Amino acid sequence: QSVLTQPPSASGTPGQRVTISCSGSSSNIGSNYVYWYQQLPGTAPKLLIYRNNQRPSGVPDRFSGSKSGTSASLAISGLRSEDEADYYCAAWDDSLSGFWVFGGGTKLTVL
Amino acid sequence: QVQLVQSGAEVKKPGASVKVSCKASGYTFTSYGISWVRQAPGQGLEWMGWISAYNGNTNYAQKLQGRVTMTTDTSTSTAYMELRSLRSDDTAVYYCATGGWYPAPFDYWGQGTLVTVSS
């Protein structure tokens, strides 16, 4: 049972825009930044979005992140076949001494 | 370029311990912390903890307190994660990653180490 809630699956056709949601609580998303990671099949996760909406160098601007209250979203525009992967949201939780929490992941299928 | 290279796959019996290494290159090792994240087969990501490569300070996930120890060797730019009293549900791919002391993200990741716990 993940602390952050994501839909288990999402899909779209090439060129389409898709969004993946991530829901948390006041102790994590509500008070801290949201991060997104992309995991291609059989590989390690890769940082996609940090501090809600910042892209590391090399990440295409087709990927964008947003946050509102205790929820966040990842949007992918101009969908491409190579975007087929698992996507995870993450946030710092202020409970106890502080710890990272992840969503359960969303498997994106490009039809 | 930043690289994290992890040790190879391990098979352990329940109750045993495992120690996974993570050798860093391409940056000043003591400038960033190292986090450990694991992923059970077919499951999501789980944060295990963080260690400062500068002073050895640690922050462990509550559920692993008492079973996990993270250390670093600055002379070889290597981080280690030891997990004791292994159970079958510890079977997972274990990843090291740079960063993870909030708000620093997990920037760069190792290739992962599969640890299988089976009798």
Q: Using one digit for the tens of pLDDT, what is the confidence trace for A13-38?
A: 999 999 999 999 999 999 999 999 99
Dist CA A8 CA A21 (whole Å): 10
Question: Cβ contacts (< 8 Å) between B100 and chain A: which residues?
Answer: 100
Dist CA A2 CA B43 (whole Å): 10
Q: Tell me which residue in B95, B100, B107 faces A100 most closely, judged by beta carbons.
A: B100
Summary mean pLDDT of chain A? 97
Question: Cβ contacts (< 8 Å) between B111 and chain A: which residues?
Answer: 44
pLDDT score, position A82: 97
Interchain pair A45, B45: CB under 8 A: yes
When pLDDT is cut at 50, 70 and 90, the band that residue A96 belongs to is: confident
Interchain pair B103, A45: CB under 8 A: no
pLDDT tens digits for range A72-92: 999 999 999 999 999 999 999
Interchain pair B44, A98: CB under 8 A: no
Cα→Cα distances A56→A39, A47, B8, B57, Å: 15, 7, 29, 27
Distance from CA of B44 to the nearest CA of A (A): 5
pLDDT score, position B5: 98
pLDDT tens digits for range B65-110: 999 999 999 999 999 999 999 999 999 999 999 999 999 999 999 9
pLDDT score, position A23: 98
Distance from CA of B85 to the nearest CA of A (A): 23
In this structure, what token pair is assigned to residue B52? 């400062």
pLDDT score, position A29: 98
Distance from CA of B1 to the nearest CA of A (A): 13
Question: CB-side exposure of B102: number of CA atoms within 13 Å?
Answer: 20
When pLDDT is cut at 50, 70 and 90, the band that residue A1 belongs to is: confident
pLDDT score, position A97: 85
Q: Tell me which residue in B62, B102, B107 faces A47 most closely, judged by beta carbons.
A: B107
